[in-house]
Copies of this chain bind each other. A is one copy, B any other.
Amino acid sequence: MKPKVLIIMGSDSDSPIMQEAEKILKQFNIPYDITVASAHRSPERVVQLVAGAEKKGVEVIIAGAGAAAHLAGVIAAHTILPVIGVPIDSSPLKGVDALFSTVQMPPGIPVAAMAIGKAGAKNAAILAAQILQFKNSSLSKTLKAYKKKMALEVLKKAKKIQKRY
C-alpha cells in the first residue's frame, strides 16, 4: 500500500521514541514509511525525502529530533503538507531545547508541535489519523473507538485503584 505518513527521525538513537508513533499507525492500519535523515548531517537527503513523499502521495510528515531540533522546521520549509514535530529529550537540557526549536516557528511556516518524548510521538500518529480521516472515513470510526477505549481503560484502572476510607 502507498504510504500516507512519512516518519523521519534525526538520528537512529531516536528510534525507541518514534516507535510509539509506529505502534499507533499499525494499530490504526495507516500505511507509513519510516527512515532516518538529519537536517544538519544530511540536508539534501531531507529535501529529497520530502519531495519523494509528496510524489508518493504521503499526506502527513512526522519529524522527531532532539537538541537544536531543526528537522521539523526544515521539512516544513520544503512542503505544504502538514508537518508534525516531536521534540526529543536527548540533551542535558531535557528536551526544552528541542521543544523551543520545534514550536517557535516564524509566521508562515507552521509545525504542529507535540509533547516532549514518547507521549509526543504517540500523539503525532493520532493527530496524523485525525488529519487523514477527511479522505478515509473509516479512520473517523477508528478514532472514535480509540477514544472510547481510552475512557474505558481509565475506568478499568480506576476500579483497581479506587477505594473508600
Contact = CB atoms under 8 A, between A and B. Distances in A.
Interface in A101-157: 101-119, 122-124, 126-127, 130-135, 140, 143-144, 146-147, 150-151, 153-155, 157
Interface string A62-102: 00001110100110111011101000010111111101111
Contacts of A12: 157-158, 160-161
A91 B74 CA distance: 19
Contacts of A44: 151
Listed residue (A15, A39, A157) with the most chain B CB atoms within 10 angstroms of its CB: A157
Interface string A42-64: 11110000000000000100000
Nearest to A142: B80
A12 to B, nearest CB: 4
Listed residue (A15, A43, A76, A118) with the most chain B CB atoms within 10 angstroms of its CB: A43
A41 B84 contact: no
Q: Interface of chain A, helix or strand or loop or mixed? A: mixed
Interface of A: 3, 9-12, 15, 20, 22, 25-26, 31-45, 59, 66-68, 70, 73-74, 76-78, 80-82, 84, 89, 91-97, 99-119, 122-124, 126-127, 130-135, 140, 143-144, 146-147, 150-151, 153-155, 157-158, 160-165
Given A40-B76, A42-B150, A150-B41, A68 B34 contact: no
A19 to B, nearest CB: 10
Contact of A82 (B95, B99, B131): B131
A80 B144 contact: yes
A9 B154 CA distance: 11
